Structure 1
Amino acid sequence: MPAAWFFFGLTLAAVSVTGGGHFWGGCGLLALILLRVISLKSRRVLCTVLIGGGLFGGWLWLQQQQLDRWRLAMGAKQTQALEIRVQPDAMVVRGTSYYFVGRDQTHHDWVTVHGQLRTPHEQTTLQNVDRAMLWRVTGEISGILPATNFNQFDAARYWSHRRIVRSVKVTAVNSRSPSGATIWQYWSDWWHHWRSQLIHYCERLPGALSVYALGLFPGNKSVAFADEMQGMQQLGLLHLFAISGLHVVLLLTVLEWLAVRLHLPREWWEWGLFVCLPGYLILAGGGSGVLRACLMHGSQLLGKRCGYRLDRLTGWSIALVVGLIVNPGLLFELGGQLSYGLSLGLILWARESLVWRQLGLTLLSLPGILTAFFQWHVLTLLANWLVVPLFPSVILPLTVVGTVCFSWFPRVSVACSWLLGSFDQGLRMVGRLPGNILFGKPVWWIAWLWVVLTWQLFSRPVRARRLWLIGLFVIYSGMYGWNHWPVTGEVAYFDVGQGDSILWREPFNRRVSLIDTGGRLAFPQPTWATRAPVRYGAERTSINYLHSRGIHRIDDLYLTHHDADHIGDLPAFIKQMQIKRLLVPAGMEQEPSWQRGLHLSGIRVQPIKVGVALPVVVRHPYESAPAENANSLALQTQAGGLNFLFMGDLDRPGEQKMMAADSQLRTDVLKLGHHGSKTASAPAFIQQLRPRLAIISAGRDNRYGHPNPETLTTLAQAHLPALSTQTSGMIRYVYRGNWGQWQTKLGGRP
């Protein structure tokens, strides 16, 4: 019985991986499972695995066909009137916008919905909704945009795993009214109502207590979660939230204690707990850790009432099976990987010493953490050894006491918040100590190999494990070297929306140069809008990519001019990257507006113009002037057998100056000036340069209409092929020596 459930769960996991994007990895895992099952010589287990895996695979295929019918092509949009049912705890209000996930009553599928708040009354109304509502709206329906830069978080895949493939941008709200409900919906709505009340209550808690309470009880991450948990992330301790179905265990223990003290019949309260667990799953947000804990305890309770004693491994296996049916993409998420992987490690390594168990959990979590965050701290093992015991004995009780006492004894809550905040501050201080390793993103099959070898390590006698540890260290070191000293170089045009950001990285990372940072214009917010922490787009795009390649140093950061769409994300680079020098067009160094806080970083600012000796050739400007479009930097370089010219936002008069200064000016790859505006890229300029490829960096549906049809006509008349970040996403030229290859994130070739 335990073996059948265990291998059945692993088979479903392999089938899910195969159909979810890692075909060859899933097939390899499936082959290993089948070989192991065959070696058991049990027909029952083999039949369970084959039949169950086949049925699950067929069900996934049918689900995918349904999603494909709903899915819209990239760029396709439809304007429709819709009725959307939304739960009160799904509503998120940030600044002047709102967002939620609701159910389309016409197509009976789930959709993401976002819109703009117009009045403070509307903001207050949405923040105080406490019941399921039926929204009748007119909206623009589109597909969910996938990751447009390499190694970027893929929202389309994330939502697809939750069977959501459409997004609605609300253009008009026709009405909002309480929604009717069936018996099942009424039961579900009741729990969602209380979850929304719990979220509102936790949001009123002071400081760090609010962050912990929101994360542990309703499973809601506040806007301050990332900042508050920075130390935990750096030290690899976020798995405490992933496997922390601890509060489920605590709740069940307290309820059992009360039932025994009240002399209630065991049969009554055990059945009561089993019936209430699905409701508590809703109340706690249905996260991976809570889902696994509820399923494990629910299966064991049901087994006990039905006369079957299920061990922890069987409970884990049943939880995996049901979890994959509820969310087939469970194992593609870091929370699911950590929750199920580490809980399995705790079960199988229960007899190991504390040191070996903590080492095993660290090694087991490391592939997922490196794949998601690209970095690891050498103090992680020590931090796990010290902090993990504190979590159930100190952190969780402090959070419970502070949350419960807030209404009657607020000073107790303030004290608990101070203690939790001090704990976080201590973790941040430890995280800042030397030892944080920017590893880079591992190749997917290498990450899988690490996981397999970790399990194999603990199947060996303690005395034989040293050699396996050395082997793991060698493979980790090899992957580190592959990331940090790649044999190829690249020229990459990031998709940063309506802006510019370009990377030039030489082979072995001998020199890393960046042209512009990207950014966006900041529009004033009304006084009634809730304030949110500043977030820079570069953290999700260019900085994320640099970290994924193991790059923490930028030798030369060129700022072409002072517009926000070119330098707006500079503060993020100053905070997260080591920058040796900033190079700006002559005259820009005298402008104080963009240099706030720059003097504290100690970064040298160097003004440049034509004639200055640099690793790149400066083609513009010729004299010192205000750093506007007319004085934008134009830079030229050679890489991989091609000549690249980067025009910034330089307009046609600047192009005329360049042609007059050098009548023999040529290039192979031209990054069009000013995002393809008609104020740049004059036909005479294109004719003289004779480029073989044009690159356009512009945002989708931008308000300026870039690239301009006149510019596209100029390119067509010159028979010049073009790639645009609007349709191709990130564009990069990866080279070695004088040979290279063009790659685009969303498809398309020169």
Structure 2
Amino acid sequence: MDRFCLLVVLSVVICLGVSTIPTSLQLGGALCVTLGLLSSCLVVTCSGVNHQLSSKVLQGCHALQVCLLCVTALLLYPFQLSTQLEHDAQLFQRVDSQPRAVLGEIVGLPKNSGAGWQFFFKTTTAQLGLSTAMESVLIDVRWYLPLVPDYGDVAADLQLPSLKEGQIWQLELSIKPVIATANPSQGWREGNLWLQGVLFSGQVRYRQQSTPAGITLLAQATQLQGAVSWRQQIADGFARCCASYTAYPLWLALTVGERPFSAQLWQGLRNAGLNHILSISGMHIALVFQWCLLLGYLIRWLPMGESLRVLLLWSCAGMVATGYAWLAGFAIPTQRALWTLLLLIVLGILRRRASSWSMHLLLTALMLLAWPALLVSVSFWFTVAALTLLIAMQWLQVKPAHWRGYLTAFFKAQLWFSVGLLPLSLWFFHGIAPWALLINLLLVPYIALLLFPALCLVAALQVLSSVWNISWMPQAWQLLDWLFTPLWQVLVALDGDNAWWSLPELEMPEIALICLLLYCACWWSHWHRWCSICIVLVLLWCGSDVTEPRVHIIDVGQGSATLLQVGRHGALLDAGPALGDWSATEQIILPYLQYYRINQLDWVLLSHDDADHTGNLQVLRQRYPALQLYADFRSDAKPCQQLPHRWQGFDLQMLWPKNQQHSDNESSCVVSVKHQQMQWLVPGDLGAAEHTLLAKQPDLRTHVLVLGHHGSKNSSSIGWLQQLKPTIALASAGRLNRFGHPSIDVQARLQLLQIPLLSTADDGAIVFTQQGAGWHYQAYRQQRYPRWLEKLSQDAVSQHRNR
């Protein structure tokens, strides 16, 4: 059984690396043939024993059975995965892009991002017109305040309703496949939502309606029956009593599984290496289960047999652990923990034993076969790796004789975890947290043995206080906030670039070599160990810095942001879009700068005063207080014409406007960026003024043209393209944006002139890198794995556009 499960896991790893998955028909046929041959071998073996066949024949049949079982194990998971992919592809083909009224229920706790609500909406395929079957479908819904077309600002006289889990609404939605930006500094949102069963996204529509006071905008939404869930009521109760405390976000994460963390707090968690302990995982479920088992000492006096007492105790502990997992929203790590506890309870009741390794393999294989999408879950693979290390350490563990031995064992365990999980950290996050080992040594016992039990106790008392009035609850929360203060201060102190070692240049062979050297260092002699560590440090240093000049077209959605980079110096042309309290500057650009270890942002140029270009300059100034701003429409900035003519080897030329103080599209600052023989042209939202610019610059040429106004039909005229003669055109636009950028007209002009087009909507972030005397570019979406999941998303987007 262990080998069978191990081969299932191996087939999952193979699926991660391949570009395409065979069809379910092909895999099903191969699986049927294999099972048929296996059945025949079993029949021959059984009949051969009765008829006393020769030992060689029986040995051959047995060997063939083993081979067929291995083939079966290798085919099972790809078959399950292919079946799910084909099912999802059929749903994408049937969905209609026209707005429709959808009846459904809010599941999960809705999130208010400042710009509006985001929540999961559970409905059926019949409601979406996909089929007559009542199959459940989850939609990622956004309910934002509408933009006033004339001003582009959020309508101030409109208010959003209070949304709660469990409410039933009828919403008019614009349905489209799940879309997201694609940058190396971001997680894969499409993959994460696919993991949760979310295939579609939708936005609540508004319509104009005439009233005595004038024309107003009304949301096409109606609330029907539906009770607010208990989980929502518990979360609301916590918000009412303790939202004012500093540690409230951490409490919410450890009680109901929601993490309303700021970008700075997320960065502090990553840099401290405490993500695993400040999100409800298997460790927390196991702690709750163990605490309940301790109650066994309190029920010894009950008049019942030992077997019945064990059954009662384990069943109650399992129910409490299940309740805690439900409160956490049944996150992926909690589900694995529940399956493990269920198996332990069954084995305990039956008084059977199984090795830790066998249980680990069996649960991993069963979860992957039952839930094929788990292969894209980062937390799942970290959990599998951590349990594998834990089992390996059990084999090497010697029972300590005194307290110093326990401290030494704890230090070695943390060191093993740090080294063992390093490959996953380098692969998924392209970086390491140098302070993580020390922070985990100090804070993991503090959190697990003091903070988490204290929080569970106070939270339980808060729930009971709704029945019995407990007058000293405010003092209890205040004391708990004081206990969490050291943890909070550590997370705030680690919000910095020096606490995270980003390694964007490391490739897979280098990662494998680093891991091999570190593992060998644990076993080699003294001087061999230090030699291997020195080699690892050299490899990490080589992978940390970007030395050659680069030009980045960042995928900020429906907006624009171009980054010039030389080493750790950067310069930014436009700062991406902003909507309400949300901005791509904070959520996308700032992590992008940190990913490429840009410690000094010298200047920012804002081409014109549009929200999809100006972003949130304040967050950039907080991180880079010395940056210089260039813009023609701000009093705190220098005019665009004062942009330096040379920066870090790049030649910069301001082509447009000439002595104009306007902020409209036609007055966009047009910049020519040149490095040796390579040239880029960034025209902002320039449109009709292209002809005037061409008349003033008759000899203007470029190699790379960023399409004006994101590729709208009123820009990038045929004359403009003919004179510039670009070898490649780029469009910075959002995926499935409502404007249709880049427009069909512009695409036709580019095709007529045989100019290839790249778009951040389809290709993600695009990076130009100098190699020797030439330059080459890489599109991020073309590098992401698994490739077949990226293809599924691209096919869904293409089908939606064709409608």
1:236 to 266, 273, 281: 273
- Alpha-carbon displacement from aligned partner over 1:334-355 (angstroms, at most 9, x marks no partner): 3223323223323322427333
Partner of 1:638: 674
How far, CA to CA, are the matches of 1:617 and 1:669 in structure 2?
Answer: 15
Question: TM-score, normalization: structure 2?
Answer: 0.73
Relative to structure 1, is the Cα distance of residues 120 and 740 closer, same or farther in structure 2, using a 3 angstrom cutoff? closer
1:568 corresponds to 2:615: yes
Query: Equivalents in 2 of 1:621, 1:81: separation in Å?
Result: 47
Q: State the structure with bigger RCO (CA 8 A, min sep 6), 1 or 2.
A: 2
Question: Is the alpha carbon distance of 1:448 and 1:410 closer, same or farther for their aligned partners in structure 2, counting shifts above 3 Å?
Answer: farther
Deviation at 1:393, TM superposition (A): 1.3
**Closer, same or farther in 2 for the Cα pair 1:364/1:626, shift >3 Å?**
farther
Task: Return the alpha-carbon distance in structure 1 between the equivalents of residues 528 and 123 of structure 2.
Answer: 54
Give the match for residue 77 of structure 1.
Answer: 97
For structure 2, list consecutive stretches of 5 or more residues without a partner in the other structure. 21-61, 127-132, 146-156, 206-219, 303-308, 399-408, 783-793, 795-803
In structure 2, do the counterparts of structure 1 residues 338 and 47 end up closer, same or farther at CA, with 3 Å as the change threshold? Answer: same
Partner amino acid, structure 1, of 2:504: G
Decide which of 170, 174, 179 is 1:145's aligned counterpart. Answer: 179
CA separation of 1:15/1:348 partners in 2, compared to 1, >3 Å: closer, same or farther? same
Distance 1:688 1:314, change over 3 A: closer
Select between 469-478 and 345-354 the one with higher mean Cα deviation. 469-478
Distance 1:716 1:63 in 2: 36
The one-character-per-residue Cα deviations of 1:105-128 (angstroms, maximum 9, x if unpaired) are 53514322314278999723x33x
Name which of 265, 279, 292 aligns with 1:255: 292
Please report how far the alpha carbon of residue 301 of structure 1 lies from its aligned counterpart in structure 2 after TM superposition.
Answer: 1.6
2:150 matched residue in structure 1: none
Partners of 2:772 and 2:176 in 1: CA distance? 43
**1:296 corresponds to 2:322:** no
- Report the Cα offset of residue 396 of structure 1: 0.8
Q: Which amino acid aligns with 1:494?
A: I
Shift in Å at residue 688 of structure 1? 3.4
- Of 245, 250, 268 in structure 2, the residue corresponding to residue 212 of structure 1 is 250
In the alignment, the residues of structure 2 paired with residue 46 and residue 241 of structure 1 have an alpha-carbon distance, to the nearest angstrom, of 44
**Kept in 2: contact 1:677–1:708 (CA 8 A):** yes
Q: Does the 8 Å CA contact 1:76/1:143 hold for their aligned counterparts?
A: no
Moved more, 608-617 or 42-51: 42-51
Call closer, same or farther: CA 1:46–1:500 in 2, change over 3 Å: same
Deviation string 1:615-643 (CA, Å, 9 cap, x unpaired) is 32314247544262454332223348543
Q: Alpha-carbon deviations, 1:49-78, whole Å to 9, x = none?
A: 6544433332222222222222359x9725
Decide whether aligned partners of structure 1 residues 177 and 544 sit closer, same or farther in structure 2, where only a CA change above 3 A counts.
Answer: same
SS at the partner of 1:239?
Answer: coil
Identify which of 132, 145, 155 aligns with 2:189.
155
Q: For the Cα contact (< 8 Å) 1:678–1:711, is it kept in 2?
A: yes
Task: Identify the residue that residue 382 of structure 1 maps to in structure 2.
Answer: 438
- Name the residue aligned to 1:67: 88
SS at the partner of 2:563? Answer: strand
SS at match of 2:122: strand
Tell me the distance in 2 between the aligned counterparts of 1:432 and 1:166: 36
Asked if structure 1 preserves the Cα contact closer than 8 Å seen for 2:640 and 2:669, the reply is no
* Offset of residue 551 of structure 1: 3.8
Offset of 1:386 from its aligned partner? Answer: 1.1
The 1:718/1:317 distance shift into structure 2, 3 A limit, reads closer
Cα deviation 1:689-725 (Å, max 9, x = unaligned): 3334433333456566655677667656766554443
Aligned identity (percent) is: 21
Contact preservation (8 Å) 1:72, 1:143: no
Match of 1:266 in 2: 310
**In 2, are the aligned partners of 1:495 and 1:697 still within 8 Å (CA)?**
yes
Partner Cα separation in structure 1 for residue 18 and residue 600 of structure 2: 32
Letter matched to residue 560 of structure 1: S
Deviation of 1:442 (Å): 4.0
Match of 2:152 in 1: none
Q: Distance in 2 between matches of 1:716 and 1:557?
A: 33
CA distance in 2, matches of 1:416, 1:202: 13
1:572-721 aligned at under 5 Å gives the runs 572-576=619-623, 578=624, 581-582=627-628, 584=630, 591-592=635-636, 608-609=641-642, 612=645, 615-621=650-656, 623-626=658-661, 628-629=663-664, 630-639=666-675, 641-653=677-689, 656-657=692-693, 659-660=695-696, 662-677=697-712, 680-681=715-716, 684-700=719-735, 706-707=741-742, 720-721=755-756
Q: Is the Cα contact below 8 Å between 1:494 and 1:502 reproduced in 2?
A: yes
Aligned residue in 2 for 1:602: none
Q: What is the aligned partner in structure 1 of residue 119 from structure 2?
A: 99
By how many angstroms is 1:413 displaced?
1.0
Cα distance in 2 for partners of 1:143, 1:388 equals: 40
1:504 to 553, 564, 570: 564
Q: Which residue of 2 aligns with 1:358?
A: 414
Note if contact 1:634-1:648 (Cα within 8 Å) is conserved in structure 2: yes
- The structure having more radius of gyration, on CA atoms, is 2
Shift of 1:424: 0.9
SS of 2:679's equivalent in the other structure is: strand
Structure 2 counterpart of 1:213, one-letter code: W
Does the 8 Å CA contact 1:242/1:335 hold for their aligned counterparts? no
Q: Which amino acid is 1:519 matched to?
A: P
CA distance in 1, matches of 2:629, 2:158: 44
Inter-CA distance 177–258: structure 2 relative to 1 (3 Å threshold): same
- Counterpart contact for 1:243–1:339, Cα < 8 Å: no
Partner of 1:323: 367
Unaligned runs of 5+ in 1: 25-40, 180-191, 523-533, 596-604
Distance 1:197 1:318, change over 3 A: farther
Could you tell me the TM-score, scaled by structure 1's length? 0.78
Separation in 2, partners of 1:606, 1:138:
45
- Structure 2: how far apart are the matches of 1:261 and 1:13? 42
C-alpha distance in 2 between matches for 1:46 and 1:213: 52
Change (3 A) 1:717 1:340: closer
d(CA) in 2 for partners of 1:355, 1:368: 21
- How has the CA–CA distance of structure 1 residues 573 and 363 changed in structure 2, closer, same or farther, with 3 Å as cutoff? farther
Q: Which residue number corresponds to residue 305 of structure 2?
A: none
Q: For 1:213 and 1:627, how far apart are their aligned partners in 2?
A: 49
Shift of 1:439: 2.9
2:506–2:543 CA contact under 8 A, matched in 1: no
Taking a change above 3 Å as real, the CA distance of residues 154 and 476 of structure 1, as seen in their structure-2 partners, is: farther
- Residues 18/164 of structure 1: CA separation in 2 closer, same or farther (3 Å cut): farther
Match of 1:188 in 2: none
Which AA in structure 1 matches 2:450? V
Match of 1:516 among 571, 574, 581: 574
Aligned to 1:495: 555
- Does structure 1 retain, via aligned residues, the 8 Å contact 2:285–2:321? no
Distance 1:725 1:426 in 2: 37
Instruction: Give per-residue Cα distances to partners, 1:526-580, cap 9 Å, x unaligned.
Output: xxxxxxxx4431445444444444444444543334433223133333344x586
Q: Let me know the Cα RMSD of the aligned residues.
A: 4.1
Verify the 8 A CA contact 2:683 2:707 in the aligned structure 1. yes
Q: How many angstroms apart in 2 are the aligned matches of 1:14 and 1:177?
A: 48
- Residue 308 of structure 1 pairs with residue 346 of structure 2: no
1:17 Cα deviation after fit: 3.0
Give distance in 2, aligned partners of 1:166 and 1:611. Answer: 46
Q: Tell me the equivalent position of 1:31.
A: none
Task: Give the corresponding residue for 2:23.
Answer: none
1:27 equivalent in structure 2: none
Report how far residue 162 of structure 1 moved. 3.4
Q: Tell me by how many angstroms 1:745 deviates.
A: 4.5
**In 2, distance between residues paired with 1:739 and 1:258?**
71
Tell me the distance in 2 between the aligned counterparts of 1:613 and 1:446. Answer: 36
Aligned to 1:177, which of 207, 215, 225? 225
Cα 1:66/1:514, change in 2 over 3 Å: same
